[in-house]
């Protein structure tokens, strides 16, 4: 990578990152629950609109990091405060800022206790999440990465369901245990390169053994976050117990950090090891797709169903990334965005059902669609999107992933295809029960349809489902050159140099 | 005495005067009224004095006492810590009322010992200072009020004293080796004479035995036996003191001593690495099953002392800097935990982890302080514990101790579990009875805010503090400033970009 040159101009990224922190400070002083909610909603909306400004200044034509800021942070440890974005991170930042106001809306009536602390946790999460996607200094990245743990664990542990403490601790221990090795890998990389700067670490001729170990440390940490198949057991617990907003953040943003880590670190920094491990990871991805599908099919708890479907969808993302083809990588990035949109919407929907029935049981919600036609229509759209129906967003992403996979291994893709069918099965099963299912349920006639607030919370996601589904070109255009660059780093000459030099 | 020499000794002078005043107070009957104000005034005055004398560089008392960059910032830290401990001890509910003045007197004497200790550059002086710092602590432990439920303070005090005296004996024995090898007790004179003989078993044995006295203060395995019992037996406030300030003093003296040995003392580094690993595993594994919060902190303290040893294994400027930074952060973190223990514990009794339940409702400020302190101990960013751990791991890995670093991170993963247990009880637990809100006096609030700011500040913006430490350590090392780690390992091309 060329050296990272500060772009100059106003520090847009710093403002985006730390504005939520400032808003949290304001929130800590506001009085009155309603004022707090309105303030947080207003702020997150402003943040979302402001982040759209990134599109204005971001040039999708180049793969270089843009809007770069570089300051000395702790000279004694050689740490920098370095920020910058490429196409992939811009998309994820936009997704983050889009999801946050929806989370505030979705918790408007759901959260009734300790509202102030809840909203402050949300805002802290926003700071940390945007920070993760912007950081170009590895330690800074790690700081943001770990800073998410505490507010997220609190979101689950304080405002969650019956087994919330168990779920919060499990989430915390899993993620923390994964990241301690990441820290060692970061320091080892520093000792090889003399810098914590992420672009500086890319494309260097590390020895194969070194790459394998560093990749291993990366992999454990990111695979837990994704979560990939054998590391996924924290996910259902966390999703089921978390409040709606927590589930949405977890599904839409946090899971993306794992795949973002693969894209940002594994492929460009350890290309040799990536190639060595890729077949194995492809295998794990296929297992995840099938496992997620079958398990989702067996669930009667709506949240568990959506949670296991996440395992399957994220399997597509890792499948695309480690196919190491252009179509695969672009597809994987699209899957990341789409999963954020669709699964976020599904979790909000489940939250809406729960608020009305105080149950997430599939059986209890049977036939509810008759009373809630607007909701049924929206839920139907999201279900179609989740099963990758042509014309919805997920179709494009998963199609590209499978197309990329075909170039590598036909066998793998053929194994993964049942996953698509399974997705159709569990989603349609849910939709069928919800919209047309049983008449033996207690009387649902008193249940109101969606209010304005709830429609507003779902509408942007519905628009995105259709927009990306019918016209994905703007999104693809935004990330095209960055993805091409990552691919070139993973498969290009730098990888061969490493092989030759040792 | 010249003016500059007087300035160099100013913090200690103020402390001596304060201790004398406290002695006078203790003679009368109104100790309970005046002791704390006098102590507070002493602390504030001595912090100011230390700040004034921070730029001093002088040798006093025939070369036994040296005020230099290294000692002076440590004194500032130590005296600030003294102030924090005073705020922490508050009304001293758990100490018999008629001896409050004596308590404060001994406290001041112990801090005086620590301040002298970081300036001592002569073996006998050093030992005397160490005793001055230790003996008052031996006396503070049994000052806890006797209640039906708690009678272990005498046993703890005996244990503390017996182990302390034994460790001092070992230390003296080691010093005799060093004296025998070099014919001098002055550290600056010893340095050149010891250097050529460093490989000899006698020198290694001498240094290691000398370190033993300091490892006792730090509670490094196998000198740790006193720690959990003393934490449990002493009053909460006393335990907070024992857990914090003496550790800074011990690390500081260790740095002074280890810099004697130079960076390439293979034998010593190996022993230290083993001790570090044993301390980490012992402390963390036993902490997993603790139910008493103070005992838990005692065992975790053993583990943290093990982490701090990593810097001494590296035995170079970044390593010593990291150790000093870590132990300073540790003091803030552990004080944050102890302030919660002192205020939550009803009637000054020991606090079980379960006793924290409902803390978030009873006192949000204390809950935040505890959560921040505990997560900082666990080494989570953006708190001070993370930066300290990063610096330590970096320095050890730079010297090639990959196995040690891996074991250290494995240990921080283990430690998460019991730290989360504390957070779980404080934040998620719902207690039945005793849900009355805890009223905090203004001193406690100030203390909490100071600790929070300190822990966060050292975690996010430690640049200036790290620079202070590393430049003072650099001057201490025999061959002057060593090049930074990065340049040693790999020559780094000049950055193409000028940083703003």
Q: What's the per-residue H, E or C state across A183-250?
A: HHHHHHHHHHHCCCEHHHHCCCCCCHHHHHHHHHHHHHHHHHHCCCHHHCCHHHHHHHHCCHHHHHHH
For the record, the structure tokens of A187 come out as 């320091």
C-alpha–C-alpha distance, residues A190 and B392, integer Å? 14
For the record, the structure tokens of A231 come out as 């590391």
- Are B402 and B265 in the same domain? yes
Provide CB contacts within 8 A for B266, sequence distance 6+. none
C-alpha–C-alpha distance, residues B421 and B430, integer Å? 14
User: Which residues of chain B from 276 to 335 reach within 8 Å of chain A, CB to CB?
Assistant: 321
Provide CB contacts within 8 A for B40, sequence distance 6+. B83, B86
Residue B132 counted as domain residue: no
Range of the domain at A470: 12-501
DSSP string of B144-201, one letter each residue = BPP-SS--THHHHHHHHHHHHHHHHHHHHHHHHHHHHHHS--BHHHHHHHHGGGTTSH
Tell me whether residues B380 and A146 touch, CB distance under 8 A. Answer: yes
Tokens 């998410």 correspond to A148
Domain count within chain B: 2
Over its length of 500 residues, how does chain B's per-residue pLDDT go in tens digits? Answer: 577 777 888 888 898 999 899 888 888 777 677 888 888 888 899 888 888 888 778 788 887 888 888 888 889 899 999 999 988 887 777 777 778 888 888 999 999 999 989 888 888 888 899 889 989 988 888 888 777 666 677 888 888 888 888 888 899 998 898 888 888 888 888 877 877 777 788 888 888 888 888 888 888 888 888 888 888 888 888 888 988 988 999 999 888 888 776 666 667 788 888 889 999 999 999 888 888 888 899 999 999 999 999 988 888 888 899 999 999 999 999 999 999 988 888 777 778 888 888 888 888 888 899 999 999 999 888 899 999 999 999 888 888 888 888 899 889 888 888 998 888 888 877 766 667 788 888 888 899 999 999 999 998 888 888 888 888 888 877 654 444 433 344 444 444 444 44
Tell me whether residues B499 and A71 touch, CB distance under 8 A. Answer: yes
Given this model, what pLDDT does residue B492 score? 41
Interhelix angle B31-52/B100-119, rounded to 10 degrees, is 20
| B473 contacts B320 by C-beta, under 8 angstroms | yes
Provide CB contacts within 8 A for A38, sequence distance 6+. none
Give the count of alpha carbons within 13 A of A311, CB side only.
Answer: 32
C-alpha–C-alpha distance, residues B62 and B64, integer Å? 6
Between the alpha carbon of residue A461 and those of residues A52, A89, A92, A338, A392, the distances in Å are 16, 19, 15, 10, 12
Tell me whether residues A190 and B394 touch, CB distance under 8 A. Answer: yes
Q: What is the mean pLDDT of chain B?
A: 83
Tell me whether residues B428 and A5 touch, CB distance under 8 A. Answer: no
Minimum distance, in Å, between the CA of residue A348 and any CA atom of chain B: 25
Provide CB contacts within 8 A for B390, sequence distance 6+. A77, A139, A183, A187
Provide CB contacts within 8 A for A462, sequence distance 6+. A345, A378, A381, A382
Residue B320 counted as domain residue: yes
Residue A439 has a CB neighbour count (10 Å cut-off) of: 8
For the record, the structure tokens of A92 come out as 């994820």
Nearest to A158 among B427, B490, B492 (CB): B427
Q: Tens of pLDDT along B301-342?
A: 999 999 999 988 888 888 899 999 999 999 999 999 999 988
Residue B172 counted as domain residue: no
Residue B435 counted as domain residue: yes
Helices then strands (H, E): number in chain B? Answer: 21, 2
Residue B489 counted as domain residue: no
Q: Which helix (H) or strand (E) holds B228?
A: helix B226-233
Given this model, what pLDDT does residue A90 score? 93
Provide CB contacts within 8 A for A451, sequence distance 6+. none
Given this model, what pLDDT does residue B493 score? 44
Tell me whether residues B409 and A180 touch, CB distance under 8 A. Answer: yes
Single out the residue of A415, A393, A395, A394 nearest to residue A406, CA to CA: A415
Q: Which of B382, B407, B499 to mutate to test the interface with A (most CBs of A within 10 A)?
A: B499
Q: Tens of pLDDT along B153-212?
A: 788 888 888 888 888 889 999 889 888 888 888 888 887 787 777 778 888 888 888 888
Residue A81 counted as domain residue: yes
| B324 contacts B469 by C-beta, under 8 angstroms | yes
Residue ending a domain, among B92, B119, B146, is B119
Tell me whether residues A184 and B371 touch, CB distance under 8 A. Answer: no
Given this model, what pLDDT does residue B266 score? 63
Which 3-state string (H, E, C) describes B338-386? Answer: HHHHHHHCHHHCCCEHHHHCCHHHHCHHHHHHHHHHHHHHCCCCCCHHH
Residue B379 counted as domain residue: yes
For the record, the structure tokens of A450 come out as 């969606």
Chain A residues in contact with B424 (beta carbon < 8 A): 157, 165, 169
Single out the residue of B356, B350, B332 nearest to residue B292, CA to CA: B350
Single out the residue of A158, A180, A181, A291 nearest to residue A236, CA to CA: A291
Interhelix angle B402-423/B293-314, rounded to 10 degrees, is 160
For the record, the structure tokens of A170 come out as 């499990």
Q: Is the peptide bond before A227 cis (omega within 30 degrees of 0)?
A: yes
Q: Which residues of B301-329 are buried (b: 16+ CB within 10 A; e: fewer)?
A: bbbbbbbbbbbbbbbbbbbbbbbbbbbbb
C-alpha–C-alpha distance, residues A246 and A227, integer Å? 16
Given this model, what pLDDT does residue A3 score? 61
Give average pLDDT by consecutive 10-residue segment, chain A, 502 residues.
Answer: 70 91 91 90 93 88 87 87 91 93 90 88 94 93 92 89 88 88 90 89 88 92 89 89 92 92 92 91 92 90 91 92 92 93 93 87 81 88 90 89 88 86 90 76 75 89 91 89 89 51 36
Map residue B220 onto helix, strand or coil: coil
Minimum distance, in Å, between the CA of residue B53 and any CA atom of chain A: 25
Range of the domain at B59: 1-119
- Are B110 and B227 in the same domain? no
Q: Which helix (H) or strand (E) holds A286?
A: helix A271-297
Residue B324 counted as domain residue: yes
For the record, the structure tokens of A372 come out as 């809630």
| A269 contacts A189 by C-beta, under 8 angstroms | yes
Single out the residue of A168, A161, A151 nearest to residue A110, CA to CA: A161
User: Which residues of chain B from 380 to 419 reach within 8 Å of chain A, CB to CB?
Assistant: 380-382, 386-387, 390-391, 393-394, 397-398, 402, 405-406, 409-410, 412-413, 416-417
Single out the residue of A342, A370, A335, A349 nearest to residue A447, CA to CA: A370
Domain count within chain A: 1
| B247 contacts B315 by C-beta, under 8 angstroms | no
Residue A7 counted as domain residue: no
Sign, CA torsion A370/A373/A375/A380: positive
C-alpha–C-alpha distance, residues A199 and B255, integer Å? 37
Single out the residue of B260, B273, B342 nearest to residue B310, CA to CA: B273
Map residue A414 onto helix, strand or coil: helix
| Residue of chain B with shortest Cα separation from A151 | B371
Between CA A214 and CA A217, with CA A216 as vertex, the angle to 5 degrees is 65
Nearest to B420 among A72, A173, A181 (CB): A173
Residue ending a domain, among B69, B103, B119, is B119
Chain B residues in contact with A76 (beta carbon < 8 A): 321, 391, 462-463, 466-467, 470
- Is the CB of residue B470 less than 8 Å away from at least one CB of chain A? yes
Given this model, what pLDDT does residue B313 score? 86
Tell me whether residues A157 and B428 touch, CB distance under 8 A. Answer: yes
Given this model, what pLDDT does residue B485 score? 39
- Are B277 and B416 in the same domain? yes
Given this model, what pLDDT does residue A2 score? 56
C-alpha–C-alpha distance, residues A332 and A401, integer Å? 6
ipTM of predicted assembly, 2 dp: 0.86
Provide CB contacts within 8 A for A423, sequence distance 6+. A293, A296, A309, A312, A313, A386, A387, A388
Q: Which residues of B374-384 are buried (b: 16+ CB within 10 A; e: fewer)?
A: bbbbbbbbbbb
C-alpha–C-alpha distance, residues B310 and B312, integer Å? 5
Q: Which of A76, A118, A191 to mutate to test the interface with B (most CBs of B within 10 A)?
A: A76
Chain A residues in contact with B461 (beta carbon < 8 A): 74
Single out the residue of B176, B100, B183 nearest to residue B144, CA to CA: B100
Q: In residues, how long is chain B?
A: 500
C-alpha–C-alpha distance, residues A238 and A254, integer Å? 12
Residue B235 counted as domain residue: yes
Helices then strands (H, E): number in chain A? Answer: 22, 2
Residue A4 counted as domain residue: no
C-alpha–C-alpha distance, residues B425 and A330, integer Å? 45
Tell me whether residues B427 and A157 touch, CB distance under 8 A. Answer: yes
For the record, the structure tokens of A497 come out as 């140099």
């Amino acid at each position: 990578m060329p050296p990272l040159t500060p772009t100059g101009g106003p520090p847009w990224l710093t403002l985006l990152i730390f504005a939520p922190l400032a808003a949290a400070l304001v929130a800590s002083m506001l009085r009155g629950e309603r004022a707090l909610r309105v303030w947080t909603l207003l702020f997150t909306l402003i943040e979302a609109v402001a982040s759209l400004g990134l599109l204005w200044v971001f040039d999708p034509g180049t793969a270089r990091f843009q809007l770069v800021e570089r300051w000395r942070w702790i000279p004694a440890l050689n740490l920098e405060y370095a920020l910058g974005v490429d196409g992939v991170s811009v998309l994820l930042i936009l997704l983050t800022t889009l999801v946050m106001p929806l989370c505030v809306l979705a918790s408007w009536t759901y959260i009734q206790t300790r509202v102030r602390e809840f909203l402050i946790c949300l805002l802290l999460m926003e700071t940390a999440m945007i920070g993760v996607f912007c950081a170009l200094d590895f330690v800074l990245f790690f700081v943001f990465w770990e800073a998410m743990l505490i507010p997220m664990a609190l979101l689950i542990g304080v405002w969650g369901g019956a087994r919330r403490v168990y779920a919060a601790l499990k989430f915390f221990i899993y993620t923390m245990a994964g990241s301690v090795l990441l820290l060692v890998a970061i320091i080892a990389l520093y000792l090889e390169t003399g810098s914590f700067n992420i672009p500086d670490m890319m494309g260097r001729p590390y020895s194969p053994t070194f790459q394998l170990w560093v990749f291993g440390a990366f992999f454990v940490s990111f695979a837990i976050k994704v979560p990939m198949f054998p590391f996924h057991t924290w996910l259902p617990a966390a999703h089921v117990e978390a409040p709606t907003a927590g589930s949405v953040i977890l599904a839409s943003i946090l899971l993306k950090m794992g795949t973002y880590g693969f894209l940002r670190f594994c492929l460009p920094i350890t290309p040799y090891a990536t190639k060595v491990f890729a077949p194995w990871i492809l295998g794990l991805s296929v297992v995840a797709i099938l496992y997620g599908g079958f398990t989702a099919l067996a669930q009667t708890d709506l949240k568990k169903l959506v949670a296991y479907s996440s395992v399957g969808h994220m399997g597509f993302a890792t499948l695309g990334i480690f196919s190491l083809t252009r179509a695969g990588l672009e597809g994987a990035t699209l899957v990341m965005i789409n999963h954020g949109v669709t699964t976020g919407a599904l979790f909000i929907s489940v939250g809406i059902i729960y608020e009305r029935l105080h149950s997430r049981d599939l059986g209890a919600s049977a036939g509810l669609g008759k009373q809630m036609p607007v909701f049924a229509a929206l839920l139907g759209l999201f279900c179609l999107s989740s099963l990758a129906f042509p014309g919805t967003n997920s179709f494009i992403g998963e199609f590209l992933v499978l197309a990329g996979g075909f170039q590598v291994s036909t066998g793998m893709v053929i194994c993964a295809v049942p996953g698509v069918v399974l997705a159709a099965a569990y989603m349609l099963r849910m939709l069928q029960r919800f919209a047309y299912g049983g008449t033996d349920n207690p009387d649902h006639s008193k249940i109101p349809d969606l209010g304005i607030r709830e429609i507003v919370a779902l509408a942007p996601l519905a628009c995105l489902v259709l927009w990306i589904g019918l016209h994905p070109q703007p999104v693809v255009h935004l990330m095209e050159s960055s993805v091409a660059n990552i691919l070139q780093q993973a498969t290009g000459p730098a990888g061969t140099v490493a092989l030759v030099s040792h | 005495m010249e003016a500059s020499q007087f300035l160099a000794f100013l913090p200690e002078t103020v402390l001596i005067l304060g201790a004398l005043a406290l002695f006078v107070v203790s003679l009368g009957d109104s100790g309970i009224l005046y002791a704390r104000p006098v102590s507070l005034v002493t602390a504030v005055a001595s912090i100011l004095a230390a700040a004034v004398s921070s730029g001093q560089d002088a040798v006093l008392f025939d070369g036994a006492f040296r005020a230099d960059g290294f000692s002076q910032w440590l004194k500032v830290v130590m005296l600030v810590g003294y102030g924090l401990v005073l705020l922490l001890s508050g009304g001293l509910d758990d100490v018999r009322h008629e001896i409050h003045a004596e308590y404060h007197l001994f406290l001041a004497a112990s801090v005086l010992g620590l301040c002298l200790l970081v300036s001592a550059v002569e073996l006998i002086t050093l030992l005397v200072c160490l005793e001055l710092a230790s003996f008052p602590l031996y006396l503070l432990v049994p000052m806890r009020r006797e209640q039906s439920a708690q009678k272990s303070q005498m046993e703890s005090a005996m244990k503390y004293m017996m182990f302390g005296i034994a460790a001092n004996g070992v230390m003296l024995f080691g010093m005799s080796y060093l004296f025998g090898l070099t014919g001098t007790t002055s550290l600056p004179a010893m340095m050149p004479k010891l250097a050529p003989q460093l490989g000899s078993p006698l020198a290694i044995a001498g240094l290691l035995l000398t370190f033993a006295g300091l490892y006792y203060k730090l509670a490094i395995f196998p000198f740790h036996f006193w720690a959990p019992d003393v934490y449990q037996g002493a009053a909460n406030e006393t335990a907070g003191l024992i857990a914090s300030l003496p550790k800074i003093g011990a690390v500081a003296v260790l740095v002074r001593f280890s810099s004697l040995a130079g960076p390439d003392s293979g034998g010593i580094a190996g022993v230290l690495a083993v001790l570090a690993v044993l301390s980490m595993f012992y402390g963390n594994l036993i902490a997993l099953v603790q139910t008493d919060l103070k005992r838990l902190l005692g065992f975790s303290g053993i583990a943290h002392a093990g982490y701090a040893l990593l810097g001494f294994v590296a035995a170079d400027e970044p390593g010593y800097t990291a150790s000093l930074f870590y132990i300073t952060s540790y003091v803030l973190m552990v004080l944050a935990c102890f302030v919660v223990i002192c205020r939550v514990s009803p009637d000054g009794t020991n606090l079980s982890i379960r006793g924290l339940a409902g803390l978030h409702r009873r006192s949000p400020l204390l809950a935040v302080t505890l959560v921040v302190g505990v997560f900082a101990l666990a080494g989570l960013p953006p708190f001070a514990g993370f930066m300290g751990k990063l610096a330590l791991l970096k320095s050890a890995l730079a010297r090639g101790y990959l196995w040690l670093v891996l074991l250290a991170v494995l240990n921080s993963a283990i430690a998460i579990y019991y730290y989360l247990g504390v957070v779980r009880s404080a934040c998620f637990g719902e207690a039945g009875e005793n849900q009355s809100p805890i009223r905090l006096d203004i001193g406690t609030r100030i203390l909490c805010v100071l600790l929070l700011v300190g822990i966060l500040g050292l975690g996010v913006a430690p640049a200036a503090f790290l620079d202070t430490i590393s430049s003072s350590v650099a001057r201490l090392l025999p061959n002057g400033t060593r090049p930074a780690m990065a340049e040693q390992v790999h020559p780094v091309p000049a950055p193409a970009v000028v940083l703003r």
